[in-house]
Structure 1
Amino acid sequence: MALKSTIYKAELQIADMDRHYYGDHALTIARHPSETDERMMVRVTAFALFAHERLEFCKGLSDTDEPDLWQKDLTGAIETWIEVGQPDERRISKASGRSNEVVVIAYGGKTSDIWWQGVRGKVERLSNVTVWSLGEGIAEALGRLAARTMRLQMTVQDHAAWLGSADADPVAIEWTVLKAPAQA
């Protein structure tokens, strides 16, 4: 018998001064049996950083045809495809062809560096792809915020972000842009 996903609930308050986005979100997050707290919380962080009324969690790990998050327009076309982790270049290329914008948020320190060197040559040719790498230890710090029921606050100001809860100090979210989309 296959293991089932574990359900997490989060009340997420977002104050993004850079994008002028302010909102409260009641999230239901299905954590795949093979997923770690760190990866799940990086997904929640990605949601907070790219929040939009149509952004939603997808099947991600349990479905190879869906990302971790996506935003679709009113016709069902994919506007933004967000991957968390270290997807291979074929997956990124496929996502690039299916959506207007692809965002990859890599984490894992040295392993992210090795992954990027392996996919960089092919991914850099894709004009609608953005790749970020989270700073060393951030995923682990985010993982410590994980609880079955969470009340989280995300603040974004001047290209800096913090995710926190009432039970823990906020985690400073630092990233490096490895690849930005091509300018039109």
Structure 2
Amino acid sequence: MALKSTIHKATLQLSDMDRHVYGEHNLTLALHPSETEERLMMRVLAYALNVPADDLNGTLQSARGLSDADEPDLWHKDLSDQIVHWVEVGHPDDRRLAKACAKADRVSIYAYASSTPVWWQGMANKVTRLRNLAVWQIPADQAQALAARCTRSMQLQISIQDGLLYVSDAAGTIEIQPQALWQGGA
């Protein structure tokens, strides 16, 4: 008998001063049996960092990243169903990144494990031709601190200013500092 996903609900109060994006977002997240809470919380973080200011050009939505090799964790599709932004968490291989970059206007990767430097060392030379790719590293200790706050029902306040994220809940605040590993075309 197959294991079922565990449903988590998160209410995000987002104040992104860097992009001038503000609002409340209610997320329903399925924690796949093979997924960790750390990865689930990285999807929440990736959502906060990439949600558009309005839905005039489509919305950012969860996709079937773990269940379907042809889909990311999140994607922003425009009203004609074209992929504007492909968002993944983890360590995808260079072939997957090349496919994503061919399908989407922009691709963002959020790597968070302690093995990220080793993964990136093997990837850095392979992605230089991918001009629409951005790769970010979330320090492993910060990702783990965020994972410790994972519950089935979350109320999170996320403030973003000067590239720093402050994630607050009833237990306190965690500071997260994403580090750019690659920004194609930059």
Cα deviation digits, residues 57-78 of structure 1 (max 9, x gap): 1111111111010001110000
Residue 116 of structure 2: aligned partner: 112
Matches within 5 A, 1:150-165: 150-165=154-169
Which residue does the alignment assign to 1:21?
A: 21
Counterpart amino acid of 1:73? D
Partner Cα separation in structure 1 for residue 123 and residue 184 of structure 2: 16
**Contact 1:161 1:174 (8 Å CA) reproduced:** yes
Given candidates 53, 56, 80, the residue that maps to 2:85 is: 80
Give the whole-Å Cα distance in 2 for the aligned partners of 1:163 and 1:115: 27
For residues 138 and 144 of structure 2, the distance between their equivalents in structure 1, rounded to whole angstroms, comes to: 11
Please give the alpha-carbon distance, in whole angstroms, between the structure 2 residues aligned to 1:64 and 1:151: 31
CA contact (8 A) 1:15 1:156 kept: yes
CA distance in 2, matches of 1:162, 1:59: 28
| 2:180 equivalent in structure 1 | 177
Distance in 2, matches of 1:181 and 1:13, equals: 30
Preserved contact between residue 80 and residue 100 of structure 1 (Cα < 8 Å): yes
Gaps of 5+ in 1: none
Q: Deviations over 1:30-86 (max 9, x none)?
A: 111011111100110110111124011111111111101000111000000001000
Using structure 1 for the length normalisation, give the TM-score.
Answer: 0.95
Structure 1 residue 20 displacement after superposition = 0.6
Off by >6 Å, runs of 4+ in structure 1: none
What is the RMSD of the two structures over their aligned residues, measured on CA atoms?
1.0
Identical amino acids, percent of aligned pairs = 48
CA distance in 2, matches of 1:56, 1:171: 25
Match of 1:137 among 141, 159, 162: 141
Query: Does the Cα contact within 8 Å between 1:145 and 1:164 map onto a contact in 2?
Result: no
Counterpart of 1:7 in structure 2: which amino acid? I
Residue 129 of structure 1 and its aligned partner are, at CA, apart by: 0.2
Q: What is the rounded CA distance, in whole Å, between the counterparts of 2:30 and 2:3 in structure 1?
A: 12
Which residue number in structure 2 is paired with residue 43 of structure 1? 43
* Alignment length (residue pairs): 181
Cα distance in 2 between the residues matched to 1:42 and 1:94: 22
Q: Is the 1:106–1:131 contact (alpha carbons within 8 Å) kept by the matching residues of 2?
A: yes
Q: Kindly indicate whether the alpha-carbon contact (under 8 Å) linking 2:101 and 2:132 is maintained by their aligned counterparts in 1.
A: yes
Confirm or deny: 8 A CA contact 2:163 2:178 kept in the other structure. Answer: no
